[in-house]
Amino acid sequence: MEPSKINTMYNRLHNSSQQFITDDFMLQNDFAGKLYHDHAKSLPILDYHNHLPSKEITDNHQFKNCTEVWLNGDHYKWRAMRTLGIDEKFITGNATDREKFVKWAETVPYTVRNPLYHWTHLELQRYFDVNALLSKDNADAIYELTEEKLQTEGFKTQNLLNMMNVEVVSTTDDPIDSLKHHSKFQQQSHEFQLLPSFRPDKAYAVENANSYREYLEKLEMVSNIAITSYADLIAVLNNRIEFFKKNGCKIADHGLERLHYFEFGKFDVENLFKKLMDGHQLNEEEIAYFKFETLVHLSHTYHSLGWVQQFHLGALRNTNKRMLSKLGPDTGFDSIVDFQQAMPLSSFLNLLDSTDQLAKTVIYNLNPADNEVFASMIGNFNDGSIKGKMQFGSAWWFLDQKDGMEKQLNSLSNLGLLSCFIGMLTDSRSFLSFPRHEYFRRILCNLIGMDVENGELPNDEKWLGQIVSDICYHNAKQYFGF
């Protein structure tokens, strides 16, 4: 497109009369505005849990267009499009990138009251300076404008992160990962840190004996250690943890429906391992025990290294088997699960604490019915040794929207100390997702600002501003040791 047309298009989209993401977006009184603008807005971002590909960061990847950077892999958007009746061809299928973008643009006006509506317009404004409301009427213009910008040096991956004042990116990495991209990045000079986190879910994913044996073969290859027993498996995992540590890792992460608890010796875990190696499937209770004992071993190691362990609990994954077979996992067919969490979670944490081997721990809840359970649980295991040792993690996945964030913040405030909270993360695969930190900061500041207006907190900007800045940045920096 000719430069003059690009400039005309940019001016029209930037100066749109439809702008609603104003400076005081979501800030309902002057005190909330002061907290956000003077104490939260300019703080760097410590994104301690996301799913960004380290290769694209290290290689400073340049995206071809907005579909590639914004829609590919985003199952939040995919679910909305499917709900509106849009054919899979335009979601994960073989439609062109422009066609997919246009279909997303047609969807956006119908996402009102879904966080996608806010995120979409925050991201268009923060990255591309587009104030217009995305719709089918301006889809082609916005597609072309963003495509033009994405071809410039300033929109490569590293600059996208710098644009949002990101200080730390902690990716999610399997034990078999070589971490070569992290290592290469760390040997160069950059404005932010790229760190791995240890995500060993597949090391105890024993639901399918055949796929589990295939995974162990990969573990053997990267560690150069034969795995012929359960003891070998633990030795290899410890070996990989040490390797991750040498590459800057300080965090372990686990995605689970729920934590399990058993008395040790309920099953002989070596026999369970042999059963798997012989090609036999474990029953439901045996699977749970295998996960339990493996997590105990891992948690002891994390504690010895001073790492933070994270547990994401409450997701029911891949529920639509027809679409799973068609599209594979992580394509938008997961939901909240209603397992009983309190007893096994309490017993598991107590087991680790009983020998003083409970690491700094973040527990994330996906079922809002369990918010008070999680918020009260962390208080059981805070022992005064570390500020905020036990954390009720930020509203996660289906709950990282205004109502979900407010409920998590209120539960934590009522039953714990909000002032010790380590704040927000993206948990995203998208390089355009970092305005979620802004979204969280605005919600936090507004919540406190409304308390001040209602006479429930003192009108003390200096003190409350410090609380806000601690939650948005300083607490996490201290907690993780970044």
d(CA 408, CA 363): 12
Contact of 156 with 183, CB cutoff 8 Å: no
Residue where a domain terminates, one of 101, 122, 153: 153
Helix (H) or strand (E) holding 372: helix 371-380
Model confidence pLDDT, tens digit, residues 327-339: 898 889 989 999 9
pLDDT at 11 > cutoff 70: no
Q: What's the average model confidence in pLDDT over 275-302?
A: 97
Model confidence pLDDT, tens digit, residues 393-408: 999 999 999 999 999 9
Both 354 and 381 in one domain: the answer is yes
Position 465 in a domain:
no
* Amino acid at the residue 300: H
- How is residue 395 written in tokens? 């509203």
Position 453 in a domain:
no
Number of residues assigned to the chain: 482
Report the pLDDT value the prediction gives residue 2, as an integer from 0 to 100. Answer: 59
Position 326 in a domain:
yes
Reported for 292-296, long-range contacts at CB under 8 A and 24+ positions apart, including other chains, are 292/259, 292/260, 292/261, 292/262, 292/348, 293/262, 293/264, 293/269, 294/203, 294/204, 294/233, 294/234, 294/237, 295/204, 295/254, 295/259, 295/348, 296/348, 296/351, 296/352
Q: SS3 of 89, please? A: helix
* Amino acid at the residue 346: S
Number of domains in the chain: 2
- How is residue 39 written in tokens? 């104490």
Both 99 and 208 in one domain: the answer is no
Position 74 in a domain:
yes
Segments forming the whole domain that contains residue 374? 158-433
pLDDT at 3 > cutoff 60: no
Contact of 35 with 461, CB cutoff 8 Å: yes
Both 83 and 142 in one domain: the answer is yes
Report the pLDDT value the prediction gives residue 18, as an integer from 0 to 100. Answer: 63
Contact of 439 with 118, CB cutoff 8 Å: yes
Model confidence pLDDT, tens digit, residues 340-393: 999 999 999 999 999 999 999 999 999 999 999 999 999 999 999 999 999 999
Contact of 376 with 326, CB cutoff 8 Å: no
- Paired residues of 361 in beta bridges: 309, 390
Helix (H) or strand (E) holding 354: helix 342-354
Position 428 in a domain:
yes
Both 211 and 310 in one domain: the answer is yes
Both 87 and 206 in one domain: the answer is no
Q: What's the average model confidence in pLDDT over 214-238?
A: 97
Both 392 and 264 in one domain: the answer is yes
Position 120 in a domain:
yes
Model confidence pLDDT, tens digit, residues 427-444: 999 999 999 999 999 999
Report the pLDDT value the prediction gives residue 19, as an integer from 0 to 100. Answer: 74
DSSP output for 250-283: -EEEEEES------TTSS-HHHHHHHHHTTPPP-
Both 108 and 173 in one domain: the answer is no
Q: Is 130 exposed, middle or buried (0-12, 13-18, 19+ CB in 10 A)?
A: buried
Give me the sheet containing 45-47, strands edge to edge: 45-47, 166-170, 193-195
Return all residues near 392 (Cβ < 8 A) that are at least 6 apart.
362, 363, 365, 374, 375, 377, 378, 408, 411, 412, 416, 421
d(CA 406, CA 115): 13
pLDDT at 280 > cutoff 70: yes
Both 118 and 168 in one domain: the answer is no
Closest CA relative to residue 290, chosen from 303, 277, 308, 306: 277
d(CA 99, CA 89): 10
pTM over 0.75: yes
User: Which CATH number characterizes residue 70's domain?
Assistant: 1.10.2020.10
Three-class secondary structure assignment of 8-74: HHHHHHHCCCCCCCCCCCCCCCHHHHHHHHHHHCCCCEEECCCCCCHHHHHCCCCCCCHHHHHHCCC
Q: SS3 of 406, please? A: helix
Both 255 and 358 in one domain: the answer is yes
pLDDT at 13 > cutoff 70: no
Position 443 in a domain:
no
- The Cβ of residue 18 has, within 10 Å, a number of other Cβ atoms equal to 12
Both 191 and 340 in one domain: the answer is yes
- Paired residues of 384 in beta bridges: none
d(CA 84, CA 104): 10
- The Cβ of residue 122 has, within 10 Å, a number of other Cβ atoms equal to 21
pLDDT at 4 > cutoff 60: no
Position 53 in a domain:
no
pLDDT at 288 > cutoff 70: yes
Distance in Å from the first CA to the final CA of the chain: 44
Q: What's the average model confidence in pLDDT over 205-231?
A: 97
pLDDT at 306 > cutoff 60: yes
Helix (H) or strand (E) holding 152: none
User: Which CATH number characterizes residue 404's domain?
Assistant: 3.20.20.140
Return the percentage of the chain with pLDDT > 90, whole number: 93
pLDDT at 289 > cutoff 90: yes
Residue where a domain terminates, one of 153, 171, 204: 153
The torsion angles phi and psi of 313, rounded to 5 degrees, stand at: -120, 145
Report the pLDDT value the prediction gives residue 83, as an integer from 0 to 100. Answer: 98
Report the pLDDT value the prediction gives residue 65, as an integer from 0 to 100. Answer: 97
Residue where a domain terminates, one of 138, 153, 168: 153
Both 394 and 303 in one domain: the answer is yes
Both 179 and 134 in one domain: the answer is no
Contact of 287 with 266, CB cutoff 8 Å: no
Burial 331-368 (b: 16+ CB within 10 A, else e): bbbbebbeeebeebbbebbebbeeeeebbbbbbbbbbb
**CA angle 428-318-222, nearest 5°?**
65
pLDDT band for position 15 (cuts 50, 70, 90): low
Model confidence pLDDT, tens digit, residues 465-481: 999 999 999 999 999 99
Whole-number Cα distances in Å, 213 to 187, 207, 220, 232, 239: 35, 11, 11, 14, 19
Q: What's the average model confidence in pLDDT over 270-277?
A: 98
Dihedral angle sign, alpha carbons of residues 333, 335, 339, 342: positive
Model confidence pLDDT, tens digit, residues 91-126: 999 999 999 999 999 999 999 999 999 999 999 999
Closest CA relative to residue 413, chosen from 360, 371, 460: 371
- How is residue 407 written in tokens? 């409920």
